[in-house]
Structure 1
Amino acid sequence: MLQDARVQALVRATQAGLPLVPEPYAAVAEALGEGWDETQVRAELGRLLAAGVIRRIGVVPNHYAIGYRHNAMAVFDVEDAQIESLGPRVGALDFVTHCYRRPRHLPLWPYSLFAMCHGASREAVLEQVEQIRALLGPACRAHDALFSTAILKKTGLRV
Structure 2
Amino acid sequence: MTLDPTDRAIITATQSGLPLVSRPYAQIATDLGLDEGDLCNRMRAMQANGVIRRIAVAPNHYALGMTANGMSVWDVDDNRVAELGQRVGNLEFVSHCYERPRALPDWPYNLFAMIHGTSCDQVEALRADVAAILGDACRGNDILYSTRILKKTGLRLRRQKG
Distance 1:47 1:92 in 2: 25
What do you get for the CA RMSD once the two structures are aligned?
2.6
Per the alignment, residue 112 of structure 1 pairs with: 110
CA contact (8 A) 2:29 2:39 kept: no
Deviation at 1:107, TM superposition (A): 0.8
Distance 1:29 1:64, change over 3 A: same
SS in structure 2 at match of 1:80: coil
Runs of 5+ unmatched residues, structure 1: none
Q: Which amino acid aligns with 2:116?
A: H
Distance 2:81 2:19 in 1: 37
Distance 2:101 2:109 in 1: 8
Distance 1:8 1:93, change over 3 A: closer
Deviation at 1:42, TM superposition (A): 4.0
Per the alignment, residue 56 of structure 1 pairs with: 53
Per the alignment, residue 158 of structure 2 pairs with: 158
Per the alignment, residue 13 of structure 2 pairs with: 13
Q: TM-score, normalised by structure 2?
A: 0.79
Distance 1:109 1:141 in 2: 13
Distance 1:43 1:103, change over 3 A: farther
Distance 2:121 2:8 in 1: 45
Deviation at 1:11, TM superposition (A): 2.6
Q: TM-score, normalised by structure 1?
A: 0.80
The number of aligned residues is 153
Runs of 5+ unmatched residues, structure 2: none
Distance 1:56 1:17 in 2: 14
CA contact (8 A) 2:96 2:113 kept: yes
SS in structure 2 at match of 1:111: coil
What CA deviation, in whole Å up to 9, does each residue of 1:81-129 have, x standing for no partner? 1112111111111211121211111111111111111111011001111
